[in-house]
Amino acid sequence: MTEYKLLIGGKLREGASAIDVINPADETVVAKCPVADETMLNEAVESAQIAYQSWRQLSFAERGAYIKKLTAAVEENAEEFARLLTQEQGKPLAQARDEVMFAQIFANYFSDCTIEDKVLSEDDNGRIEVLREPLGVVAGICPWNFPLLISLYKIAPAVMAGNSIIIKPAPTTPLSSLRLAELIADIFPAGVVSILCDNNDLGPAISSHPGIAKVSFTGSTPTGKKIMASASSTLKRLTLELGGNDAAIVLDDVDPKQVAEGIFGAAFLNSGQVCIALKRLYVHDSIYEGLCEEIAKLASAAVVGNGLEDGVQFGPVQNRMQFDKVCSYIESAKVNGRIIAGGDVPDAPGFIVPLTVVRDIEDGAAVVDEEPFGPILPIVRYSDLDEVIARANNSEYGLGGSVWSGNLDRAREVAGKIDSGTVWINQHCAFGPHIPFAPAKESGLGVEWGEEGFHEFTAMKVVNISKAYSNPVH
């Protein structure tokens, strides 16, 4: 069994203790994960503070060169990373390879980013400049659905902006981040990037730590609220990308056969374990029967299983706690609606859940109003467009949403009425490093990706210059 170590102050170190990492496909132990204690966190913060002083002095080009060297090393070890992802997260190997590729794409995008000082105004009396400077030590707290991608798209903009960063992966999916740590140790100056693992117990110490200037967190809304409360003691900056219950509204002018595959893919990507997955499908009465039938066919034909096996298209739910939660939603759906695909969870080791589709269900049912974060899609009937827009908006979440229509002008009008940070038309879950990703309502705060997301890792400084006492230049 491979031995993994934490990265603190540029050195790979043993943990204070260790926990098992479980393969969600069969519940076997993949590896032991080293776990840091609070003393190690303090050491990581101290080394990050020291590293920050010299790292911030480098040019954007110099910092970008380190990131490019790291992504090149990831590419050299791409297959190893992909297999690690499948073993710890569960996604099929082809999707794991895609995650490795997208992790490089996101990191390389930020490696080319720069920030120019701006002159707000200038006249004979003076000049006003707007600068952006690094914050200091940043903490990145990552979830278990895309562990490598999210670690890298937090590391890259943070260090590119001149900060040092401490990454804490989820306890159930730490291995790809720890393998990344081995590459980082050979590439980056000591302390610029540290990677610590825990057993879900270091979060409060990170979010309240006076030596950490910002927390970038991706995860659930309840955890995000706890981080926000804990961070208030130091008023540290926060970027919180939290839960979503994305609604899709299918208008009456579409052909079910044409849109079914796109909707299906957006709902069941990574077995539904995506914050911006399509999670509630509202379909007009006139095409309801046809679209239910098409999506049920796709779900019933899908092959779910161990991601390392040939032919498997969808992997397991990632961990026992989430598996139990998804199973409870399925049981509730059986009571409140009619299952037309899946619904029967095998009694065997592993967290395999068949892709499940439920129809004839209404708002008010748990699987519609809440976020299952698993392979289950409720399809809800509607007849009045204004009413269904209000129903789609009747949620504490506001991460994403989509409108499906053969008339783009009509779809655009509906999209303007959806209360979410992103609205897609005739697609869902489309994103990229250059596209700002801003949540609404209780789906979070701040922005990730794009220029706006890059700026989240900086502080604005205004320099206001008076020329009243300046000496003329001769």
* Active-site residue, 122 included: no
Of 358, 375, 366, the C-alpha closest to 274 is 375
Tokens representing residue 452 in the block = 């706006």
Q: How far is CA 84 from CA 23, 27, 31, in A?
A: 10, 15, 10
Of 438, 431, 432, the C-alpha closest to 109 is 432
Of 414, 373, 443, 470, the C-alpha closest to 250 is 414
Q: How many CB atoms lie within 10 A of CB 118?
A: 10
Q: Rounded distance, CA 167 to CA 257, Å?
A: 44
Q: First vs last Cα of the chain: how many Å apart?
A: 73
Q: Rounded distance, CA 456 to CA 156, Å?
A: 13
* Active-site residue, 292 included: no
Of 231, 238, 226, the C-alpha closest to 200 is 226
Collapsed DSSP state (helix, strand, coil) of residue 420: coil
From the list 99, 241, 371, 442, the catalytic residue is 241
Torsion region of 467: left, alpha or beta (phi above 0 gives left; psi -120 to 50 gives alpha): alpha
Q: Rounded distance, CA 185 to CA 67, Å?
A: 13
Contact 91, 173 (CB under 8 A): no
Contact 128, 457 (CB under 8 A): no
Collapsed DSSP state (helix, strand, coil) of residue 143: coil
Tokens representing residue 108 in the block = 């390389």
Tokens representing residue 314 in the block = 């969808």
Q: How far is CA 182 from CA 22, 43, 195, in A?
A: 21, 18, 10
> In the chain, what's the furthest Cα-to-Cα distance?
87
From the list 197, 275, 292, 429, the catalytic residue is 275
Of 396, 353, 357, 365, the C-alpha closest to 278 is 357
Q: Rounded distance, CA 35 to CA 379, Å?
A: 42
Catalytic residues: 241, 275
